[in-house]
Amino acid sequence: MENFATEPFIQISRTYIINYNFLDSVEADLIHGMVARVMGFKIPISRTYLEEIYSKLEEENN
pTM of the model: 0.78
Q: Which amino acid is at 58?
A: E
Indicate if the pLDDT at residue 4 is higher than 60.
no
Q: Using 50, 70 and 90 to split pLDDT, how confident is the model at 56?
A: confident
Strand, coil or helix: what is 16?
coil
Indicate if the pLDDT at residue 2 is higher than 80.
no
**Predicted confidence (pLDDT) per residue in 11-39, tens digit:** 999 999 999 999 999 999 999 899 999 99
* Residue-wise burial string across 38-53, b where 16 or more C-beta atoms lie within 10 A, e elsewhere: beeeebebeeebbeeb
